[in-house]
Amino acid sequence: MTGDILKYLREKEYVSGEVLAQKLGISRVAVWKQIQRLKNIGYEIIADQNLGYCLISRPDLLIPQEVQRGLSTKYIGKEIYYIPELKSTNIIAKEKALHRAEGINEGTLIIAERQSAGKGRLGREWFSPAGGIWLSIILYPKLPPSYIPRITLMTAVAVVKAIKMCTQIEPQIKWPNDILINEKKVCGILTEMSAELDIINWVVVGIGINVNIDHQKFPEDIQANTISLKEVSGKEVLRVKLAQSFLRVFEKYYDKLKRKEFSSILEEWKLYSHTLGRKIRVDMGERIITGEAVDINEEGALVLKKEDDELVKIISGTIV
């Protein structure tokens, strides 16, 4: 209902309560209530006794009406569950992904303004206050489970391209799932899935971008290693625009991946890489391997050259 009111308010400078009531088939009091709801979530609307209602400004909230307005994707973001505050968008997305048969389609998004229990990999916490983009995308790729690392890599490239387009800042990608600016983390990606032996049932890609977050808001223990786009650009970045750019590029690259055209995506990944050519230590859970990161192969695995020149392929791990 609020979506319909917004549509009419956008069309004309002023729209009277009577006209809105007529168009929507509701009472003028009901119109007034909907206007109050819009004001409560940040829309600035003035009311003139003779002329009616006038929309003055929109909030930079990631509500579906705003994200979907002008979004040029075919299926990513066509359905959005917007929950201003929740534990973790990935948790809700995983619950929803189980209900594919009931109409939870590929490209469905879960978006939040704040997460109370945002998740990183391996049970780590993801700090998610207001001002960031915290969203999860539900996918059902007809691909083998071995494609999961490639999905994370292509998501990283899509994030970098979107940030570049909206802010002129060029971030770097730290294998496998971190986006860095000035060596500090601005975005993390959490890819989760359910699969049979040779086919993926569903994938949930969670993306967290620090957009308009003041540095002192980060918990002390991670302050030294984190950064937000607002800090780097010196001004607020429009989250709706950034989210839209990301979703558009994401769909383009994901379509490529589904056609098994990963090479060009990999080339771009390498262009933005923070990892290749460096001496690194990779924590693989049961052991830590040291060596030079010499390549990312066609499967999305990191190729490490050890001191003794032996090449090791690593599918998942954390650079320490």
Q: Tell me which residues touch ligand BT5 (CB under 6 A).
A: 88-90, 115, 118-122, 124-128, 134-136, 177-178, 185, 188-190, 206-208, 210, 222, 226
CB of 229 to ligand BT5, least distance (A): 11
Residues 6+ apart with CB under 8 A from 255: none
- Give the span between the Cα atoms of 10 and 250, in whole angstroms: 29
CB of 317 to ligand BT5, least distance (A): 10
Q: Which residue in the block uniquely carries the two structure tokens 């973001």?
A: 77
- Give the span between the Cα atoms of 107 and 103, in whole angstroms: 11
Q: How many Cβ atoms from other residues are within 10 Å of residue 45's Cβ? A: 16
CB of 319 to ligand BT5, least distance (A): 10
**Closest to 158 in 3D by CA, of 256, 264, 248:** 248
User: In this complex, which beta carbon is closest to ligand BT5, that of residue 88 or of residue 244?
Assistant: 88
Q: How many Cβ atoms from other residues are within 10 Å of residue 217's Cβ? A: 14
**Closest to 130 in 3D by CA, of 8, 224, 228:** 228
- What is the 3-state secondary structure of 245-311? HHHHHHHHHHHHHHCCCCHHHHHHHHHCECCCCCEEEEECCCCEEEEEEEEECCCCCEEEECCCCCE
User: In this complex, which beta carbon is closest to ligand BT5, that of residue 31 or of residue 79?
Assistant: 79
User: In this complex, which beta carbon is closest to ligand BT5, that of residue 12 or of residue 185?
Assistant: 185
CB of 219 to ligand BT5, least distance (A): 8
Q: How far is CA 36 from CA 4, 41, 210, in A?
A: 14, 9, 30
User: In this complex, which beta carbon is closest to ligand BT5, that of residue 20 or of residue 282?
Assistant: 282
- Give the span between the Cα atoms of 262 and 259, in whole angstroms: 8
Residue least distant from ligand BT5 (Cβ): 188
User: In this complex, which beta carbon is closest to ligand BT5, that of residue 220 or of residue 309?
Assistant: 220
CB of 210 to ligand BT5, least distance (A): 5
User: In this complex, which beta carbon is closest to ligand BT5, that of residue 101 or of residue 122?
Assistant: 122
User: In this complex, which beta carbon is closest to ligand BT5, that of residue 122 or of residue 197?
Assistant: 122
- Give the span between the Cα atoms of 251 and 233, in whole angstroms: 26
> CA 51 from chain center: how many Å?
40
CB of 91 to ligand BT5, least distance (A): 7
CB of 167 to ligand BT5, least distance (A): 17
CB of 185 to ligand BT5, least distance (A): 4
Q: Which residue in the block uniquely carries the two structure tokens 């230590």?
A: 281
